[in-house]
Structure 1
Amino acid sequence: MSFVNMEAVSIRKPLKEARFPFNRAQSLEDAVSRVATGYFTDASIGGRFETRGVLVIGESRQGKSTEIDEMLKKFNDGTTIMPDGRPAKIVSCLLSGKVTWMSLGTEILDVLGYPLKGRRNQDYIWSKVRKYAEEQGVIGIHFDECQHVFTEGDSKTNNKFLDSFKSLLKDHRWPLMLIFSGVPSLALAVSQQLV
């Protein structure tokens, strides 16, 4: 006996797949377009440049991740071409629980298709993130549920994360635009510093 009611599935599936376009989805696309346009402009000039970030906040279960996923599908469809002739990409990483900068780098390497083997230090890990991002034309990273990076009352750790995120935005070899999404408390941690 199957515990899956296939008749119910056939009714529910189209309803769950349907999306109602909210105005905020257009606002998200506009914000990413502004940052990507700035990235393209600076990259086409050559030399050192820094890029910007996008902050997406809202209460849980309000559709932030779904809207970002839809936007990233459009962005990553191969039509956004960078000055070097390659399609630009933005990858996404879901953060859960307490993370360190080193473990975050390891997760990004997994997303880029290069799982880390053996023990490595933080500098090695992030140099590989930059290298493989550049090789793949990845110009941005979306950090979903980013509030997990910041701990309440631990300003020293929070400042280290902020400085590390800034270094990704300003990296002279391969700057990465960043998209941060999470609950409203995330705005207090990053809005004044990074976006």
Structure 2
Amino acid sequence: MSNDIIRNAAEKVAALRDHFIHHERFEPLEARFAMLVAKRLSDLDAGRSSEAHGLALSGPSGTGKSAAMHHLLAGVGQQLSTTRHWDAPIISLRVPSPATLKFVGYTLLRALGYQIGSERQAWYIWDLVRHHLKERQVLFVHLDEAQDLASRGTKHELNAVASMLKTLMTDPDWPVGIILSGTPELEDILNHDSQLARRMGSVA
């Protein structure tokens, strides 16, 4: 097989991967997120600082969750570009390994453009996260492979994750919507805390 044939085949495969096909699972996800965006923009325009809400997309590995979220966030980014909030970003990142709250906060700070030494304590890192989310006027944070946030499944770990997510959504100075995507184990985090579950819509 010639190099030209191999290269052409690779280009066609790459083009197919970039092509997103709407399907019945995507429609409720898109509709729910559109409602979250509309509420957030309405609050901003009215000068309100009411708590934000979130959305969770769960499903088995290989079912296209990451592609669906990428397409969804890209579409919302285009929508925001036509509003007065055109520069309000949506931060999207994959939960890093190891998926400790400290390292997640550290990675989120880097995504926000802020560098910090990893020797800092977790509470300090998350205080900085909240500060820079407000400074950057971030509307939503998307965490992919979010089931890894509580991979050990201990009560202490689940409590810490739920508390962190609720804190971001209820921050009185700058509430931020949380979007989670991951395998069905993600539901363990949501079901662990009734207050978190009340603030998170779920699409499976």
Equivalent residue, structure 1, for 2:93: 93
Write the letter of the residue equivalent to 2:151: T
Equivalent residue, structure 2, for 1:54: 55
Q: Does the 8 Å CA contact 1:51/1:170 hold for their aligned counterparts? A: yes
Between the aligned partners of 1:47 and 1:10, the Cα distance in structure 2 is 48
Q: Give the SS at the match of 2:92.
A: strand
Between the aligned partners of 1:159 and 1:18, the Cα distance in structure 2 is 39
Equivalent residue, structure 2, for 1:17: 18
Between the aligned partners of 1:28 and 1:42, the Cα distance in structure 2 is 21
Per-residue deviation at 1:100?
Answer: 1.9
Equivalent residue, structure 2, for 1:39: 40
Equivalent residue, structure 2, for 1:144: 144
Q: Deviations over 1:129-171 (max 9, x none)?
A: 2222222221110010010011354111111110111000100
Mapping of residues 101-112 of structure 1, within 5 Å: 101-112=101-112
Give the structure-1-normalised TM-score: 0.86
Write the letter of the residue equivalent to 2:81: T
User: How many residues are treated as equivalent by the alignment?
Assistant: 193
Between the aligned partners of 1:20 and 1:118, the Cα distance in structure 2 is 40
Q: Deviations over 1:70-121 (max 9, x none)?
A: 1111212343646xx4533211110144422221111001111222236322
Which consecutive residues of structure 1, in runs of 5 or more, have no partner in the other structure? Answer: none
Between the aligned partners of 2:116 and 2:87, the Cα distance in structure 1 is 26
1:158 aligns with 2:158: yes
Bigger shift: residues 92-101 or 49-58 = 92-101
Q: Deviations over 1:26-51 (max 9, x none)?
A: 22121111112222233334354211
Which consecutive residues of structure 2, in runs of 5 or more, have no partner in the other structure? Answer: none
| 1:79 paired residue among 81, 84, 88 | 81
Between the aligned partners of 1:40 and 1:145, the Cα distance in structure 2 is 27
Q: Does the 8 Å CA contact 1:98/1:149 hold for their aligned counterparts? A: no
CA RMSD between the two structures? 2.5
Q: Give the SS at the match of 1:127.
A: helix
Using a 3 Å threshold, how does the CA distance of structure 1 residues 157 and 13 change in structure 2: closer, same or farther?
closer
Between the aligned partners of 1:140 and 1:57, the Cα distance in structure 2 is 18
Between the aligned partners of 1:56 and 1:165, the Cα distance in structure 2 is 15
1:185 aligns with 2:154: no
Using a 3 Å threshold, how does the CA distance of structure 1 residues 135 and 154 change in structure 2: closer, same or farther?
same
Give the structure-2-normalised TM-score: 0.82
Q: Give the SS at the match of 2:62.
A: coil
Bigger shift: residues 138-147 or 89-98 = 89-98
Q: Does the 8 Å CA contact 2:96/2:107 hold for their aligned counterparts? A: no
Q: Give the SS at the match of 2:139.
A: strand
Equivalent residue, structure 2, for 1:132: 132
Q: Does the 8 Å CA contact 1:93/1:144 hold for their aligned counterparts? A: yes
